[in-house]
A and B are shown apart, each in its own frame.
Chain A
Amino acid sequence: MKILVTAKRVEDPESKIKVKPDGSDIVKEGLKYKINPFDEIGVEEGLRLAAKHTGEVVVVSIGGKEVQEQLRHALAMGANRAVWVNHTGPLDQLGIAGLLQKVAEKEKPDIVLLGKQSIDDDQNQVGQYLAEFLGWGQATFASKVESLESAEEKSKAPAVVLSADKKSVQVVREVDNGLATLEVQLPAIVTTDLRLNQPRYASLPGIMKAKSKPIEELTPAGLGVDVAPKIQVLKLSAPPARKAGIKVPDVATLVEKLHNEAKVV
């Protein structure tokens, strides 16, 4: 079985993001970069599926040469090889999905695993666009029924369950008011939610081995994809600041403030 996983480079989710005074971009100085947390869950799920069903995990990232850092991270976790689509400059979700479509058509994976959203754009679109472009079924927001602290989690079994005839997968999805289970024919698109698994750390031997794993370089022109963005970001701004609140000394004061000042109880 072949699994294609994505690894977008994003700002560290713990970092404080500030907008430049002219609203053209965010302040990049001093920021650390990571693999998108949802993509990391996708890599982990891919590795678990590959371990259980003997398969290959191919990781793909789009961006300048700095994204090789995220590809190496996925390779250090255990992915077999990497595809780097070398592109600098603006790119929107249509462009990303267009490029991933070409990579998927070239690689012919059984499953493409993507994060449900990237923590910078927060768009939650690419997996769905890709599914439609390829004409495949989709299972978005894949989750796990058991808690991440369960014994099963520790045994590292994949949550995406392959059918006996290996022609479809069962996926539990996190939706509003509960969990929905779908069966999707392969090849399929699966996007990951936070509660799918707990990604492994890259081991030192893993990091050493990753250095010699191959990274194939592709370009949008070579793939024949026009990536000119259709989503134009005109301006960024900081959200309205909340008025500073107060600390109250005791419950009685809190009740009094909620009743007389905020008038909410």
Chain B
Amino acid sequence: MSIVLIVAEQQPDGNLRKASLNAIAAGKQLAEKSGGELHLVLLSKDPSKVAGELTGTGAKAIHTAAAPEFEHYLAEVYAPAIAALAQELKATFIGAASTAQGKDLLPRVAARLKAAMATDITAINGGGADITFSRPMWAGNVFAEVKLNTPVQVISIRATEFSAAITGQNVSAEVKTFQPKLEASKTKFISFNEVKSARPELTEASVVVSGGRGTKGDFKEVEALADLLGAAVGASRAVCDAGWVPNDYQVGQTGKVVAPKLYIAAGISGAIQHLAGMKSSKTIVAINKDPEAPIFQVADYGLVDDLFKVLPALREGIQKLK
């Protein structure tokens, strides 16, 4: 029987990272297809709050370890603890959401277990011993079906491709505590500067309004429309590089991958790298002065005009509907 071990991520504010619920859903699917059971692991200074939430997700067991060393995530501290648990459980699959933490942590866990890894998986195929994964390559211009030929397999999960696991289910998982051996770390946590926002998190928002070079650094109209729609604000790489908006607004191959029900791109030309991060959105609207901009090739609705004229009018038009 296969054991699927999914790493749950706790945010700096103590709450469960929402993308972890998507990873748990993928883990459940993987457990079903491979004929096994789902286990979760949580390392934290204080796991009690999140562990409670995780018990109702349909997992067989939640493994928690509490230590002051787990307060600030460090790959060097987390990886040995997770690898040791995986060995003890004889886990066949280890996974987590493909967040910054997941991407930093999982290859280190995999290296420790001499395991092959697939990053950012979008689908789980096959069954039994013949499980394969789909994952994007070349900025999402190609999808590959890959098989990991090592006894332990590691995957990071693209949250937008799996619907979130339901919490609060009747079947409650067993919470087990474990005490990993902590090794001396060569890495020290210094600080974390959070970008605080009253708007929804970019990767979780159902509407995203993004601005590009066309805004010339003036995001007021983009933000005003976002606030009207209860949307998150995104950006192209160019405007993040210029320092006009924080880096973690960036949508694309090297930024965040989003798949909201509505994505509005204002003043974004639509380079391959940007499209990689938003092409799976349900409805795409492009507003751009340049009729030849590549963004129009993926847009459901395109409007060739100045965004400083369009965005206020759009806001007014939507307001009238309400």
Partner of A194, one of B103, B237, B283, B317: B237
Contacts of B249-263 to chain A: CB distance below 8 A:
253-254, 256, 261-262
Write out the residue numbers on chain A whose beta carbons fall within 8 Å of the beta carbon of B150: 230
Which of A97, A125, A126, A188 has the largest count of B CB atoms less than 10 A from its CB?
Answer: A125
Contact status A125-B243, CB under 8 Å: no
Q: Does A149 lie within 8 Å of B136, measured CB to CB?
A: no
Mask for B227-253, Cβ within 8 A of A = 1, else 0?
A: 001000000010011110011100001
Closest to A92 in B: B116
> Number of A residues contacting the other chain (C-beta, 8 Å)?
85
How many whole Å from A99's CB to the nearest CB in chain B?
Answer: 14
Q: How far is the CA of A239 from the CA of B143 in the complex (A)?
A: 6
Measured between alpha carbons, how far is A190 from B189 in the docked complex, in Å?
Answer: 15
Interface presence of B194 (CB below 8 A): yes
Q: Given the complex, which residues of A lie within 8 Å of B304, measured CB to CB?
A: 247
Q: Are the CB atoms of A14 and B272 closer together than 8 Å? A: yes
Within A133-191, which residues are at the interface with B (CB < 8 Å)? 133, 136-141, 143, 146-150, 170, 173-185, 188
- B141 interfacial contact with A, CB 8 Å: yes
Partner of A242, one of B119, B147, B279, B291: B279
**B51-78 near A? 1/0 per residue, CB < 8 Å:** 0000000000000000000000011100
Q: Which of B36-44, B86-94, B172-180, B295-303 is the interface stretch?
A: B295-303
Report A-chain residues with C-beta under 8 Å of the C-beta of B298.
242, 245
CB of B262 within 8 A of CB of A238, answer no
Among A94, A130, A239, point to the contact of B142 (Cβ < 8 A).
A239
State whether A128 touches B107 (Cβ < 8 A): yes
C-alpha spacing A176/B17, complex, angstroms: 11
Roughly how many angstroms separate A170 CA and B298 CA in the complex, as a whole number? 41
A141 to B104, CA, bound (A): 9
Taken together as a complex, chains A and B put the C-alpha atoms of A116 and B255 apart, in Å, by 12
**B:132-168 near A, CB below 8 Å:** 132, 135-150
Q: Inside 8 A of B189's CB, which chain A residues have their CB?
A: 180, 182
Contacts A117-B254, A128-B104, A177-B195: A258 and B186 contacting too (C-beta < 8 A)? Answer: no
> Complex: how many Å from CA A221 to CA B253?
35
Tell me the nearest residue of chain A to B100, going by C-beta: A175
- Smallest CB–CB gap between B230 and chain A, Å? 11
With an 8 A cutoff between CB atoms, is B221 at the interface? no
Also in contact, A239 and B146, with CB within 8 A (given A128-B108, A147-B242, A246-B300): no
Task: State the A residues within 8 Å of B (CB).
Answer: 11, 13-14, 16-17, 19, 26, 92-94, 97, 116-117, 119-133, 136-141, 143, 146-150, 170, 173-185, 188, 193-195, 230-239, 242-243, 245-248, 250-252, 254-255, 257-259, 262, 264-265
3 A-B pairs with the lowest CB-CB distances in the bound complex, closest first: A147-B243, A132-B111, A128-B107
